[in-house]
Amino acid sequence: MSDENNSVNNEQTPASEESENVDNVGQDKKVDEAQPHETEEPDSTAKPATSSNNTAPSKTKIDVLLKPAGDAPIMKKKKWAVDRNKPVCWVSEFIKKYLKFTVSDSLFLYVNQSFSPSPDTEVGVLFDSFGSDGKLVLHYCKTQAWG
């Protein structure tokens, strides 16, 4: 487990760069659906994840749409491609880093604008149950917004 996490941390920078590219592609084409996933499929970094997962999903990355709620600052790029097996806390760490949060700032993530998933929940699991239109919508805010 710890090895995997380390590798995730190492990948962090290239992954976000990639997702930026993907994001640009998506914006240019104004297409929200299957298009980005096709470009993602030949990604080599996702392979170990799929093999360990044993469920052979059709895609290894998920489009996550990050929306601010309440007083949260807006992110310039809202849509990111994230590995299926990345946990929710990875996403929140990414947002904190992106928005240059200080250590004392807290961040809350919400699915369906109703519940906040456990930080160790995998993004893929959430996408399977709560994704729509080929993407997973997560709301983030600095204070507790729902429930």
Torsion of CA 25, 138, 99, 2, to 10 degrees: -100
Q: CB-wise, 5 or 27, nearer to another protein?
A: 5
What six digits make up the tokens of 123? 């993004």
**Least distance between another protein and beta carbon 69 (Å):** 16
Q: CB-wise, 67 or 77, nearer to another protein?
A: 67
**Least distance between another protein and beta carbon 9 (Å):** 10
Q: CB-wise, 28 or 120, nearer to another protein?
A: 120
Q: CB-wise, 22 or 94, nearer to another protein?
A: 94
Q: Name the nearest CA neighbour of 97 among 9, 3, 2.
A: 9
* DSSP string over 5-67: HHHHHHHHHHHHHHHHHHHHHHHHHT--SSHHHHHHTT-STTHHHHHHH-S--S-SEEEEEEE
Residues forming the site for another protein (CB under 8 A): 1-2, 5, 52-56, 85, 111-112, 114-120, 122, 125, 128-130, 147
**Least distance between another protein and beta carbon 20 (Å):** 27
